[in-house]
Amino acid sequence: MSLDLDQIVLHQLIKRDEQTLDVVLRDSPLTNNQATEEMVAELHRVYSGKSKAFGLFNGESQFADALKGCRKGEASFLDFTRNSTEMLRNELAKYPFAEGGIVVFCQYRYLAVEYLLVAVLTSCSSMLVNEQLDISTTHYLDIDRADIVARIDLTEWETNPESVRYLTFLRGRVGRKVSDFFMDFLAASEGLDAKAQNRGLLQAVDDYCAEGQLNKNERQSYRQQVYTYCNGQLQSGEEIAIDELAKELPTVGEKDFRQFTNDNGYELEEHFPADRSTLRQLTKFSGSGGGITLGFDALLLGERVFWDPATDTLTIKGLPPNLRDQLQRRLSGGDN
C-alpha cells in the first residue's frame, strides 16, 4: 500500500459516570514506526471499504479554523489535536449515549492525496496464550467496527474550497447517530449525496433503454453491463466516471449514454462514489417489511416470478429446494 504516514496522535475519552467524561491527553505525537504505520494503513483500508457520506465545513467551523491555523504553522499538530479533543469531549458530553474511547488523529498521504483522519475507537478484550501456554488478557482497538470516523481530503479542501465532497464521514449505527455529535463537533454539513447520484444513474439507464426501445432481454443485458462496470469500480476503490462508463456501453439510438444524460438534465456529477445497495437494483429485486424478506434476480421477473399490480401479489414458480423442504416439514407437522 502506497501510504506515507506524516503524524499521528492519540488521546483518550474516559466515561466516569453518567455526567462525567474525562480527557487524557498525550504530551507528544506517536513515533512513526512499523506499528503506527500498520495501524494507519489498517484504518485507511477499513474506512475506504465502508459506505460514506460526503460533506463540507460550515462557515463558522472552529475545527476548520483550527485546522487551517495548524496547516499554516500557527499551531503544532499536537496542540491542534489536544484542543480538538477537548472540543469533542464538550460536544459528546451533551448526549446520554456518550461513551469513552481512543481519539485518533492521523495525517497521511495516499496516492498523492493528503488526508486527515479523525476517529474514536473502542477497546476490546481478548485472550492471549504465550509461549509457556499461559493465558492472559490483552486489549486491542476495534478498527473493523469503527463507526465514529471522518476524513478530510486536505488536498481537495485547500485546492478547491468550493467543493462539496472534501469531507467524508460514516453515518453510524441505528440508534447511535454519529452525525448528531460528530458533525456538530466538526461544524460540517452534508454535501454530495452519493446515493442520490447512484439513483439518478439507474433512472438514466432505464430511460435510455426505454428511448432505444430495447426489449426485456436487451434491457437487462444493458443493466448488467452497467453493473459490471460500477461494481468493478467499487471493488477497486475507484469512483464511477460517467464518460468512462459511456465508453464501456454500446450506443442506443443516435446518442451515446453521456450525451443522453447531458441532454435530459439528470445532473450527474462527472464522477461519484458507487453505492453498493443502490447498484444491486440493476440486477436484483429485493425488499423486506411486515415479516417478509424477498429477493430474486431481475431476469426471473416475468419468467418464474410474476407480479400482479392490481392485487399486489407475487407468484413464484419453482421454489428454492431448501424453502420447499421447510414448508413440507411444517405442513406434515399439522400446521396450516
CA-closest candidate to residue 70, choices 114, 39, 129: 114
Question: What does pTM read for this prediction?
Answer: 0.74
**Residue 89: all three cell numbers together:** 469531549
> Tens-of-pLDDT digits for all 336 residues of the chain?
589 999 999 999 988 776 678 899 999 999 999 999 999 999 998 888 787 888 999 988 999 999 999 999 999 999 999 999 999 998 887 777 667 889 999 999 998 899 999 999 987 778 888 888 888 887 778 888 888 899 999 999 999 988 988 999 886 554 445 556 788 899 988 888 888 899 999 999 999 998 888 888 888 899 999 999 999 888 887 889 999 999 988 888 888 899 899 888 888 888 888 888 888 998 888 888 888 888 888 888 888 999 988 999 999 998 888 988 898 888 887 665
**What pLDDT is recorded for position 1?**
56
Read off the amino acid at residue 59: G
Side-chain half-sphere of 303: how many Cα atoms within 13 Å? 7
- Give Cα separations from 121 to 102, 124, 127 (angstroms): 5, 10, 20
Task: Give yes or no for a contact between 129 and 135, defined as CB atoms under 8 angstroms apart.
Answer: yes
**What pLDDT is recorded for position 176?**
47
Secondary structure of 255-311 in the HEC alphabet? ECHHHHHHHCCCCCCCEECCCHHHHHHHCEEEEEECCEEEEEEHHHECCCEEEECCC
**What pLDDT is recorded for position 335?**
63
112: left (phi over 0), alpha (psi -120 to 50) or beta: left
Burial letters 277-313, b for 16+ CB under 10 A, else e: ebbeebbebeeeeeeeeeeeebbeeeeebeeeeeeee
Tell me the per-residue pLDDT of 251-301, one tens digit each, with 9 for 90 and over: 888 888 998 998 888 888 888 888 888 889 988 888 888 888 888 888 888
**Residue 5: all three cell numbers together:** 504516514
CA-closest candidate to residue 5, choices 24, 33, 27, 25: 33
